[in-house]
Structure 1
Amino acid sequence: MQESIIDPLTVRNVVVELLRRLGMTSVFANPGSTELPMFRDFPADFRYVLGLQEAAVIGMADGYAQASGNAALVSLHSAAGLGNAMGNIFTAFKNQSPLVITAGQQARSILPFDPFLFSSQAVNLPKPYVKWSIEPARAADVPLAIARAYHIAMQEPRGPVFVSIPVDDWDRPAAPVELTRVSTRARPDPERLAEIGAALDECVRPAIVVGAQVDRAGAWDDAIRLAERHHARVYVAPMSSRCSFPEDHRLFAGFLPPIREKIVQALEGHDLIFVLGAPAFTYHVEGHGPHIPVGAKLCQLIDDPAIAAWTPLGTAVVANLQLGLADLMARPAPKTRPLPAPRPPCERAEPTKVMSVEFALQTLAEVRDPADIVVEEAPSSRPAIQRYLPFTQSQTFFTMASGGLGYGMPAAVGVALARPGTRVIGLIGDGSTMYSPQAIYSAVQQGLPVTFVILNNSRYAALQEFAPVFGFSASDPVQGTDLPGLDFVSLAKGMGCKGVRVDDASQLLPVLAQALSSGETRLVEIVVS
């Protein structure tokens, strides 16, 4: 009688169980030959989210990680797939999105012969935009490498990591992984934080500048309480990728531009600038002069030591934002200050023959529920978004911190996957849409309630409007910035998505309302001036 054979533990089944314990059962992927063994006998409790291009895969995983709060698992194809993904890996790094990115590698036995579809420097390829990168020395080390990658990705400041895995490793023997419990949040230095607390208590006209890390760290309510305690005006840091303070709040003062001189002008009159969860400051063009108003003091609470290291003056404390704010709020209450004057209301946008961006966004704000999530990639429209599409709840606004295009559409898909039952709006410019329209297909296939709102002005408006900074005159056209003849409704239809084009202001509200209430993937193309 033949004895029964018990299958040994393999890299594949050890990794699957590890991923299950880590809550990483959604796999964002674009398949290739060197990844096939990873997905043999695909677990029934896992979800495979297909992206039709690697940049879209990373964008979906990024949105999912941000909205879920847990690291997302990505599977890419060797060097070519990883190369295609690099633009959005850069964005994930700037977004501080925890991603565990894997890519296949050819079999170890043929690596000395430069085989087809291998990566000669797999570990170096995604650098410097991953926190950690490894190709394990032995197949048996793959599960431990993935466990370590997860912990590094989740440690503040969070970010992507990379593991290259040879194709023949998956069927090799491996030992089970004992998961370590790792703390990912750090408390601030009490002495340095006490300096910030004293400065807040003693100043006369404080300003708080909030950045994306406030929302990422779950410190939204804490930031409100701090501002209300000190009667401090609250500004949004330049180029912030999240909403970190309710924009209808009595103390909300607006958005800082990424220009040194204009930041100083906006903050004039404040004697303390407390930068919370943001760099001090993100600049887009060269500037001159002081970084803050003369006579003012700068303090900063940030989770990223690399950012704190280049803060130009003042006191910087590195810590988790929620823990740091809790310690500040534990101090005795300061003396009462008068409330600052409120921000003046925004004038209404009126309908015109060719719709303005302002009118389109105002209409979207009227039809949108405050709990609906907006994922934005319309850079030239951001000033109008900041005036006409206010956000009043935590975790309802996401955009890219990198400035790189191709993130918004797939990120909307990832956010919708992480927040089932929540309506998601992908607010995208026409130029941005062309970077990763594959996201429409993924949204349709997953049956997601995502409404892609495309602002079509037939140009790369951001570049045309930025051109005078670099010496272009009104009669000097910027080459490559006109985008005539794009038909996004037809593009959506080809991927199974219903769409409608709107060029009449009177039709916009009912069209948006119907798309948002449909419960399925829709596209609304808005022709704007």
Structure 2
Amino acid sequence: MFNAYRDRVPVMIIAGQQSRALLPLRPFLGADEPARFPRPYVKFSRQPERAADVPAALAEAHRIAMSHPRGPVFLSVPEDDWDRPAEPVAPRTVHGGYTADPGALAGLARALDAATRPALVAGPGVDDEHAVREVAELAERLRAAVWISPLSGRSGFDERHPLFQGFLPPVADQLAQRLAPYDVVVALGAPLFTYHVHTEGPPLADGTELYHLDCDPAQAAWLPVGTSIVTTLRPALRTLTDLVQLSDRPAPEMRPAPEPLPASAEEISPELVMDLLRERLPRDTVLVEETPSHRDALHARLPISGAGRFLTTGSGALGWGLPLAVGRALADGERVVCVVGDGSALYSVQALWTAARHRAPVTYLLLDNGGYGAVKALGRRIGITPVPGTEIGGIDFAALAGSFGCPADRVERPDDLPKALDRALALGRDDGPVLLQIRVPADDSPAYEPWAR
């Protein structure tokens, strides 16, 4: 539920409740005040007062979940309500898109035209609102640098585009340093100041002016600096692109290519996995990622292209990746590639049973470093080593997947990896799931280290 809340996923959660006649007696499996406990991570939470009110409550919950900013809703329904008569609910249409005040957009356009070095920050809202193309058109017209917001659950910009600069870190001083060269920064569908490691310092350097466009009034209210414009993105971006002048300012330098890897005959590095995936995956591949220890390697070496092609968690709660890949594959029928860590997989490994039972077209690439590498890296950063409970080596994930009915293989040597990947990636939409367990070195996670500099 927290994941859905942070990622703005419109999920309708219908919870069972004991029979109404039993509720005064605090029955077994009954809930006291059920509408209270999912808050504040739902947009709507209710137990209807009467059985006859359930259909209208369901319809209201659905409309709220689908309105911007979208998110989960919760409805508690006593079990005997389903047997009671009720009236049908008339179908309705709610048009949820809205555009900012024209004067606010005109002021932003003037600031961008006057800027020497503008930058755009694309957040998960860009992809959620299907505005990736509009962001690219605005960036090209402005010749603006484009960054991805910290810990974004989606990719809002083509990472092969020459204007793409990289990923902002979730640390105050590092984020301010990255954005210091720009005089006007426009955050699009991004909370921007999503921090994970505390440092002292202002959110932005002196001389950096921030504008923020998002559909959530609450987010606009809590941002510490800048001018927020509450709007859905596509109409605002189209208007803004029409308002700004075609710029002849020099384009920013392209993001440097990753350095070539040194050859190793003994160990499979996460970087090697990402390089081989970059060579093999079509640009329109749907990629689900939950490998916190190796996310930096993925971002550096496996660029994402195309709207709706990258999904990860924006909350940090582990266990999102395996079931998310199943849902995405079943929803669209496309083959999904899921890169997941061994620690993350253990939070929801039973999703492999669901994938096998429904023949979900998912290729799972499980990077096994024998522990919670990101947690150990955080421990090193704050001076706690070793961190208790982070060693989970020796798990045979290939055998575990097989016990759930999911075909699986295991690879430990670099020479064997290309062919193993080719076999796993060759499967089509009708072939069901497969898991490839890839042994990578323990304790090599660079997580947090770039943020400490």
Q: TM-score, normalised by structure 2?
A: 0.94
Indicate the residue corresponding to 1:369 in structure 2: 282
Indicate the residue corresponding to 1:263 in structure 2: 175
User: Per-residue displacement from partner, 1:406-426 (whole Å, max 9, x unpaired)?
Assistant: 111000000001111x11011
CA contact (8 A) 1:233 1:251 kept: yes
Indicate the residue corresponding to 2:189 in structure 1: 277
- Correspondence list, 1:19-418, <5 A: 89-331=1-243, 333-352=245-264, 353-418=266-331
Indicate the residue corresponding to 2:365 in structure 1: 453
User: Per-residue displacement from partner, 1:145-187 (whole Å, max 9, x unpaired)?
Assistant: 0000000001111000001111111121111110221122221
What is the deviation of 1:332?
A: 5.0
Q: Which amino acid aligns with 2:6?
A: K
User: Per-residue displacement from partner, 1:393-435 (whole Å, max 9, x unpaired)?
Assistant: 1111000010000111000000001111x11011110000000
Aligned-residue Cα RMSD (Å) equals 1.2
| Whole-Å separation in 2 of the counterparts to 1:242 and 1:280 | 14
User: Per-residue displacement from partner, 1:344-386 (whole Å, max 9, x unpaired)?
Assistant: 1111224421111111111122221221111111111110010
| Whole-Å separation in 1 of the counterparts to 2:363 and 2:262 | 24
Indicate the residue corresponding to 1:12 in structure 2: none
What is the deviation of 1:471?
A: 2.6
Indicate the residue corresponding to 2:420 in structure 1: 511
Indicate the residue corresponding to 2:451 in structure 1: none
CA contact (8 A) 2:379 2:386 kept: no
Q: Which amino acid aligns with 1:491?
A: L
| Whole-Å separation in 2 of the counterparts to 1:349 and 1:140 | 65
Q: Name the % identity.
A: 43
Which secondary structure does the structure 1 equivalent of 2:316 belong to?
Answer: coil
Q: Which amino acid aligns with 1:168?
A: D
User: Per-residue displacement from partner, 1:459-511 (whole Å, max 9, x unpaired)?
Assistant: 11101111133233xxx311111111111001101111110010011221221
Which secondary structure does the structure 2 equivalent of 1:395 belong to?
Answer: coil
Q: Which amino acid aligns with 2:379?
A: A
| Whole-Å separation in 2 of the counterparts to 1:334 and 1:489 | 55
Structure 2 unpaired stretches of 5+: 442-453
Q: TM-score, normalised by structure 1?
A: 0.81
| Whole-Å separation in 2 of the counterparts to 1:314 and 1:367 | 42
Structure 1 unpaired stretches of 5+: 1-88
CA contact (8 A) 1:430 1:457 kept: yes
| Whole-Å separation in 1 of the counterparts to 2:166 and 2:262 | 22
How many residues end up aligned between the 2 structures? 437
Q: Which amino acid aligns with 1:312?
A: P
Which secondary structure does the structure 1 equivalent of 2:243 belong to?
Answer: coil
CA contact (8 A) 1:299 1:316 kept: yes
Deviates more, 1:184-193 or 1:234-243: 184-193
| Whole-Å separation in 2 of the counterparts to 1:287 and 1:157 | 30
What is the deviation of 1:192?
A: 1.6
